[in-house]
Structure 1
């Protein structure tokens, strides 16, 4: 809404009102009695709560001139608090139906895919209708559209029409949901209604990613889908739990792989300009400055600077030359979720988040091994999330839509895991 109507009282208050009404509806839906949702495992709940708390604290300490005064911060805090509460109550309520565990799961998945499919279709139509809108520019000028050039169509890469933002703002989380669709569509027991929607979403999603023209998003979608699918056929699926631990190393692994590819014939095919592939489109320079900052230990590195921590620490000013001049360039994100979280939440908050990811991945893998096949889609999404975080700042306020999709998927897994365990116990005792 803010993208279309700008930042004003309407775009600030209307989402709060809608979320507030939604929370009120689901919280008091049963005979005016407060409904608190499904029962949670206490240990898991503690990890979830700590992870959410560190994020909320980082938002409360945000360092940005775009947030004017305490009211702006309060509004932002309410949005990021009410949304997960609403999602939690909504998903929990779906599992109160007596349709059976599997049908309840498919109902929630249908709502998720329908929402993202409609959004992706909307932006794809805008792309087609307004393709001659503003081009995406780099320091070398307008970027060429790589995917279309491979089939002989030479044009410039375009911003998302009307709202004029980088296309990967939407493409990056469409790729994550596309991974879920690929891993679900051929599973046994998928209802005809959901399967039809999955095929429609896959078609829309592929076309949208081609229009978005992000090499990283397309590669991460393929890697996450194939990697999780192949590992699910072996006993090594549990190895994915170590991915959060490897997160600090992923940028350097990525740059090494890109440097190797850039020396091959494939490198010339997928490069937009000389040297952009080997440097990760200048990400190597950004991460070098981040490493220099963190190599000089400060107390603030342990507790973070709050959201937009890269600006508060001053590190973003050192790589601002990559993005031009002005306030936006001087506060540009780190383009890596590990570095971004360290500057925002500190080493402590980052450690808590990695424990959280370890727990949710562990729950998903455990549920899949015990027969909850739909959990494989969540494993795929979380794998994609960490891969995409290698080259983008994806956790926090920097891509609100992606963060909301992540929240929905995580809460779906948390609630469905508990319901699946209860379902199994009831089958044993029946």
Structure 2
């Protein structure tokens, strides 16, 4: 478990985006290969965790979208490297679960802690330490995006920080927001690993304040009332089945909410400009242009254009003027919506598969709600968060590679309960206690 955590944390750092040094790039890849071989040759348990067919189908869709990458600077070598790391993390994670099957029933919390929580903790810690010693990101196109507005409300006037190993403000904030959610949940409902959880909570909160990404910071706290409500239920509340609908109708709902929010002066500090609430930080224009692409059906809409489909379709050329500070890269800006990015890249078939993917996880949550309530709530929260953040961000595919990997790992983790309970043994799954 710890070996996987170390290898995964190096993968999360995303060396391929920040260096051309082949040796540095190969470090996480080689570690994953060595760990996979180690696990295979030390496999002593007969029990096997095998992902269901829908996960394999989803992986095929992702791979096909990546192969059809429309980025003008994309290269075959880069795509092979990304896919190799992506698939090796998933395969090694499955093999790690298999090698710890004997202890899994009693130490499920430890598995989650070392394989998912700690790697994200290391990523955030390294970024903060790197920033403190003066390391800067080579992705300086975003650096001059102004002051951290939330901190300025407390009299702290600093520029937004693009951390050295962050692909971008929004992409990095999504994974930090998930970590904050896990930390809050752990502090409230678990008794183990308190010190690391407190540190993790502080680091993730500070990071999001410096990035100044409002949704990633607010959603973990907004979801708290939901947690307290559903924890009292003897079975999974039926409204959880509606979670995927957030992805589909979230943009329309958000614009409706912002129409009323603009009338509340106390919320003005959350906007970056005077028109932020009216336009959703210009997202309403982007979503309108995206909608126009799909009003008239085209056969390519069934499978999508491939990665950077919004660029291939020409839609992003229509909204590129909004992102003038990005220079030549303004044409590549995503539609800032997981719904539209999936449609552009993977088409209607891809969207359907991702909806099925979510409902399969929800069915597992419902199935084990009574025997493993804490685990079930945790998985439900992650789905809630991903759908909420996906309303305004392209939180799927290799635009946010770390989130893509985590979604697959969470689904495998959820399915591991199903595989374990399919044995002819009476099993009572413990609550996950994964952080300090």
TM normalised by structure 1 equals: 0.86
Residue 377 of structure 1 aligns with which residue? Answer: 378
Aligned equivalents of 1:196, 1:322: Cα separation in 2:
44
Deviations 1:124-145 (A, max 9, x none): 3344454999999889x74221
Aligned equivalents of 1:297, 1:17: Cα separation in 2:
45
Residues 302 and 349, structure 2, Cα contact 8 Å, conserved in 1: yes
Residues 157 and 213, structure 1, Cα contact 8 Å, conserved in 2: yes
Aligned equivalents of 1:74, 1:148: Cα separation in 2:
41
Residues 51 and 353, structure 1, Cα contact 8 Å, conserved in 2: yes
Residue 296 of structure 2 aligns with which residue? Answer: 296
Aligned equivalents of 2:42, 2:78: Cα separation in 1:
31
Shift of residue 240 of structure 1?
A: 1.6
Distance 1:424 1:66, change over 3 A: farther
Aligned equivalents of 1:227, 1:111: Cα separation in 2:
26
Aligned equivalents of 1:131, 1:49: Cα separation in 2:
39
Deviations 1:323-343 (A, max 9, x none): 126441111111111111111
Residues 251 and 391, structure 2, Cα contact 8 Å, conserved in 1: yes
Are 2:345 and 1:344 equivalent residues in the alignment?
yes
SS for the counterpart of 1:96 is helix
Distance 1:12 1:137, change over 3 A: closer
1:345-424 residue pairs with structure 2 within 5 A? 345-420=346-421, 422=423
Shift of residue 104 of structure 1?
A: 3.4
Shift of residue 96 of structure 1?
A: 2.9
Deviations 1:196-232 (A, max 9, x none): 3323322222222222211111122222333233233
Aligned equivalents of 1:93, 1:359: Cα separation in 2:
25
Where structure 1 has 5 or more consecutive residues not aligned to the other structure, the ranges are none
Distance 1:132 1:345, change over 3 A: closer
Distance 1:164 1:185, change over 3 A: closer
1:68-107 residue pairs with structure 2 within 5 A? 68=75, 70-97=76-103, 101-107=105-111
Residue 108 of structure 1 aligns with which residue? Answer: 112
Aligned equivalents of 2:273, 2:135: Cα separation in 1:
22
The one of 133, 154, 157 equivalent to 1:154 is: 157
Aligned equivalents of 2:15, 2:147: Cα separation in 1:
28
The one of 124, 129, 134 equivalent to 1:125 is: 129
Deviations 1:97-144 (A, max 9, x none): 3xx6132333332442222122222223344454999999889x7422
Distance 1:345 1:155, change over 3 A: same
The one of 171, 174, 187 equivalent to 2:173 is: 171
Where structure 2 has 5 or more consecutive residues not aligned to the other structure, the ranges are 1-13, 429-436
Distance 1:396 1:137, change over 3 A: closer
Q: Which has the higher contact order (CA 8 A, sep 6+)?
A: 2
Aligned equivalents of 1:219, 1:300: Cα separation in 2:
37
Distance 1:130 1:12, change over 3 A: closer
Aligned alpha-carbon RMSD (Å):
3.0
Shift of residue 285 of structure 1?
A: 0.9
Aligned equivalents of 2:389, 2:46: Cα separation in 1:
34
Aligned equivalents of 2:246, 2:427: Cα separation in 1:
38
Shift of residue 89 of structure 1?
A: 1.1
1:297-336 residue pairs with structure 2 within 5 A? 297-324=297-324, 326-336=327-337
Aligned equivalents of 1:20, 1:409: Cα separation in 2:
21
How many residues in Structure 1 have an aligned counterpart in Structure 2?
Answer: 414
Residue 65 of structure 2 aligns with which residue? Answer: 58
Residues 242 and 358, structure 1, Cα contact 8 Å, conserved in 2: no
Shift of residue 3 of structure 1?
A: 6.3
Structure 1 window deviating more from structure 2 (177-186 vs 257-266): it is 177-186
